[in-house]
Amino acid sequence: MIMPKEATNTMRTLRGLEHDSSSVRLRAALAAGTTPDPRFVGKLVERCAIEPEFQVREMLTWALTRHSSSTTVPTLVEELRSRRPQARSQALHTLSKIGDRRAWPAITRALLTDADDEVARSAWRAAVALVPEGEEPELAEVLATQLGRGERPTRLSLSRALIALGEAAVPVLRAAMADPVPGVRRHAIATERLSRDPDAGFEYAIEEAKRIVVLGTDGQEE
């Protein structure tokens, strides 16, 4: 029996997503996004959880954004319950790119405070992209509990998320600037400075924050 060309192409793409060669997987992900098909969604999400190559993961995410959100969002939300950190992180990353606010209830406090830094960073970005109007202050309060966490990339991601919340983040940052934990104070001060002067750069803001903490001032302008 001769299979129709469309069915043959679908099978080729699905097989390509599992190929040992990253270049073949990249082309397969491109094909899945170029010609969307609901049959691709499950395999694309499954591959996101285990794909070792960054470029391929980004293409997988792009391919998913090309499909109907009514199909992709429920599958990605289910993936947020995975025990595999990469699965949670990539699902969050993809949801942030899709931008469908029906996914918002799935961005839980547990994800926003996930022990894995990559998962938490993806959750912060997704939360800022999906938060409904009026719920920004509550989100800012949760994000502020993570101030002082991790290395530079993690701290910078959190600062960017808080800054993106605008006025909603101001009260929590001001409170954190008086926190008894020096690392929290430094991070809060640096974030506040960066929000006022984005061109200064994160490293400069951190160094200024260190100086302020050492001097014992609150970092507010006179």
Q: Read out DSSP for 8-32?
A: HHHHHHHHHTT-S-HHHHHHHHHHH
Q: How many CB atoms lie within 10 A of CB 42?
A: 12
Q: Which two tokens stand for residue 112?
A: 């926003």
Q: Tell which residue, 201, 138, 191, has the closest CA to residue 164.
A: 191
92 domain-assigned: no
Percent of the chain at pLDDT > 90 equals 82
46 domain-assigned: no
Q: What CA–CA distances, in Å, run from 102 to 16, 75, 77, 174? A: 31, 13, 10, 32
204 domain-assigned: yes
Q: Structural domain of residue 199, as residue ranges? A: 136-222
Give the SS3 label for residue 90: helix
Instruction: Return d(Cα 105, Cα 150) in angstroms, integer.
Output: 26
User: How many residues make up the chain in this entry?
Assistant: 222
Instruction: Return d(Cα 29, Cα 94) in angstroms, integer.
Output: 14
111 domain-assigned: no
Instruction: Return d(Cα 105, Cα 94) in angstroms, integer.
Output: 16
77 domain-assigned: no
Number of domains in the chain: 1
Instruction: Return d(Cα 201, Cα 101) in angstroms, integer.
Output: 31
Query: Residue 129 above 80 pLDDT?
Result: yes
Measure the N-to-C terminal CA separation of the chain; round to a whole number of Å.
81
Instruction: Return d(Cα 220, Cα 70) in angstroms, integer.
Output: 47
207 domain-assigned: yes
CB 152 within 8 A of CB 187: no
pLDDT category at 1 given cuts 50, 70, 90 is very low
213 domain-assigned: yes
pLDDT tens figures, 142-201: 999 999 999 999 999 999 999 999 999 999 999 999 999 999 999 999 999 888 877 666
The pTM for the full model equals 0.87
Query: Residue 29 above 60 pLDDT?
Result: yes
